[in-house]
Amino acid sequence: MPRYVHVPTEATHQLIRQAYEAGGPYQWAREAWKNSEESHASVIQFGIEEQAAGQHGVLRRTIMDNGEGMDPEDLKIFLTTFGGGGKPIGMDQNFGQGFKSAVLPWNPYGVVVISYTRNNPEGAMLWIYRDDQGNYALKEWPATDEDGEFVSYLSTPRPFDDQDHGCDWGAIRPEWMETGTIMVLLGQSKDSNTWQGDPEPSRNESVDGLIRYLNGRLLDVPNRNGAPIETTVFDKYVRKSTERHASKDKTVTLPSGEELVWKPRRVHGLRHFIPETELTGTVVVDEHGTRAEWFYVSEPDVPVKGSKDYVNQRPVVAVNYQGELYHADSAKSRYRQFGITDEIRGRTWLILHPPVYSDSRPMEWGVLTQASRNMLMAKGGVDLPWDRWGDTFFARFPEELARVRDEARSGNRGQSDAAMAKNLSRILDRLNPRFKASRILSSAAGLVMGFPSGATAGIPGSQRITNARGGKASAGGAGGSAGSQQVLAPAVSGGTSGRQARARGGFPAFDWKKFEPDEAKFLARYDQNDNLELDDGLVSHGVVFLNESHPVFVQEVNYWVDSVWPKADPKLVQDLVHRVYGEEAVAHVVHAQRLNGTVVANNGGKPTVISEEDVQQFLEPVALSSALLGLVNVEQRILTQGGGLFGSRANS
């Protein structure tokens, strides 16, 4: 008989601890809710145990449901088997460690689980705790016969009256529970308060946070028997008057005589908080069928329904995985990846729906969750393809969303001067002779294999946007001529053929604006998935934003206005300074983009290539800001061009 791999008892607590650390705040609540939902519960309640509160003033968090429950042996399997809990185990199903690893480390004194089934209507309970050696074990109680003689020890007795802990375990069962399960979190001692959640300071858990977590984690609360699962979290407050009329509130009197009220708060799921809007749609963002579902909430409607106590008060970008949301993010950088600009970010929701990786379809691409259920990854254990999703969404940018973006910009953004395209093209033409990057471009007849890098090659400024009726339409995608080629990262295993060539890519435009406080320290930033429609109908490929309120630029403008051309129109002098610095910033961006796919070394036949990720680092706000400091050649260009406009120094 072969010897099978197993986990020694003394190592289990280390695995549980590692899984706990890999998880995030409120992970225990997600695991408990999911277990209850999978037991076919129609009611899931995060309560506060009343008896211990009344007798000892101890506030313990409970989790109850009216699901199918667990028989005594199932209880043992559920809480004593790491890597198995009686449910199917698989990459797209369960890992058999979720609730145990999320709750046991911060409840060393114990977790009591009581369950009622149709086969065992009187119920069974067990108590798991951490012993002196750090291992997790089941508490045992002596069993006696009719004569009071000791028979054996039981680990799953019927619920009993436990005066030492101020609780009749059988009396916790609510009236609405015929079958189901109750969990009581005991914390670090019999006097621990656990109603707020994990006491670990770095997790900073609270009841308000728990409500927001569940509402943000669940996309929708699933239906059971024709109605959403009734999920509630009980909060407490001190009774200050008798004027409150709420039939579901409960009053508990502490040993001190203080009255506490248990207040139920309903969990609805994130979609409930997205206002109903006609501006919504779906964009397919990869070849695997990943859908990006977007919602734009127009003014004067508020962009988020409900109280801030129930959900974070701003829209998010998130990924849906089996009805749960991961990687929820409201950061500017995440929205900019999809071409959703700052003007509309605060009113735009974006939910991505990628295919789920399954053991039954091992050759198909999909996403899966790590064992801690705290983050998603793509097949092969790699990061989610955010850049690819964002680039494709931008290339297929919804016309309605482009319209509201342009309307939002119209009030605070002037049109670029008609000469911008000509000036930029001239600068880039001068750049080409000095730097001719050898790149691999996609070609059906090519002999070099590689992967698309995300960049395109074409003729700068050649994209002119028209709609099917011949009128002007908003641009959403990248510039470059129709039929532009992709830049490939060479790789023997690549799936796209290409050839070595020198080609130009569409150029970005520049725009000056005041940066918001969180980005005010930067001189510039580059948004690849943005565009600027120029006066002559051309559309840029990306936009370089320069911070007009940065001290470096303010002092630079003041120098030319006050010391060089004090008699000239200050606005015209500022425009000159801004134009020259803008053109310089664009040249930096284009030069960096031209490096994509460039071979910079060859070590034993293995080329070292500048990748798209490398180029992105060259164009981070820190790097781009540094590149705009100390530019003596820029000042010479300002002096030369200004001389023709305003006359010699200080004489205009």
> Per-residue pLDDT for 84 more than 70?
no
Residue 310: both structure tokens together: 């129930």
- The values of phi and psi at residue 387, to 5°, are -65, -45
- The values of phi and psi at residue 300, to 5°, are -90, 5
- The values of phi and psi at residue 427, to 5°, are -65, -45
pLDDT tens-place string over residues 208-232? 999 999 999 999 999 999 999 999 9
Predicted confidence at residue 606, as pLDDT, reads 79
The 10 Å CB-count burial string (b at 16+, else e) for 296-334 is: bbeeeeebbbeeeebbbbebbbbbbbeebbbebbbebeb
As a whole number, the mean pLDDT across the chain is 84
> Per-residue pLDDT for 83 more than 60?
no
Predicted confidence at residue 449, as pLDDT, reads 63
Residue reference for tokens 């309640």: 45
Angle between helices 207-217 and 27-38 in degrees, nearest 10 = 50
- Answer whether 340's CB lies under 8 Å from 350's CB: yes
Task: For residue 60, name the pLDDT band (cuts at 50, 70, 90).
Answer: very high
Predicted confidence at residue 151, as pLDDT, reads 75
Residue 299: both structure tokens together: 């003014």
> Per-residue pLDDT for 88 more than 70?
no
> Per-residue pLDDT for 498 more than 60?
yes
> Per-residue pLDDT for 91 more than 90?
no
Is the model more confident about 82 or about 69?
Answer: 69
Task: For residue 501, name the pLDDT band (cuts at 50, 70, 90).
Answer: low
| Lowest-confidence pick of 186-190, 282-286, 478-482 | 478-482
Predicted confidence at residue 575, as pLDDT, reads 93
If you average pLDDT over each of 14-28, 148-162, 370-384, 623-637, which comes out highest? 623-637
| Lowest-confidence pick of 77-81, 298-302, 638-642 | 77-81
pLDDT tens-place string over residues 438-471? 456 677 666 666 666 555 554 333 333 333 333 3
If you average pLDDT over each of 122-131, 431-440, 481-490, 528-537, which comes out highest? 122-131
State what percent of residues in the chain have pLDDT above 90. 56
Task: For residue 536, name the pLDDT band (cuts at 50, 70, 90).
Answer: low
Predicted confidence at residue 143, as pLDDT, reads 82
Is the model more confident about 553 or about 590?
Answer: 553
- Answer whether 611's CB lies under 8 Å from 601's CB: no
pTM, rounded to two decimals: 0.80
Task: For residue 601, name the pLDDT band (cuts at 50, 70, 90).
Answer: confident
Query: What proportions of the chain, in percent to the nearest 5, are helix, strand and coil?
Result: 30, 25, 45
> Per-residue pLDDT for 633 more than 90?
no
pLDDT tens-place string over residues 319-332? 999 999 999 999 99
Predicted confidence at residue 584, as pLDDT, reads 92
> Per-residue pLDDT for 479 more than 50?
no
> Per-residue pLDDT for 613 more than 60?
yes
Where do the DSSP E strands lie in 286-370?
Answer: 291-296, 317-321, 324-329, 348-353, 367-369
Is the model more confident about 160 or about 603?
Answer: 160
The 10 Å CB-count burial string (b at 16+, else e) for 128-161 is: bbbeeeeebebbeeeeeeeeeeeeeebbbbebee
Task: For residue 148, name the pLDDT band (cuts at 50, 70, 90).
Answer: confident
Task: State how far the alpha carbon of 137 is from the alpha carbons of 80, 131, 132, 204, in Å.
Answer: 8, 7, 10, 28
Is the model more confident about 233 or about 89?
Answer: 233
DSSP codes of every residue in 190-218:
TT---TT----TTT---HHHHHHHHHHHB
> Per-residue pLDDT for 283 more than 80?
yes
pLDDT tens-place string over residues 362-409? 899 999 988 777 889 999 889 999 999 999 999 999 999 999 998 988
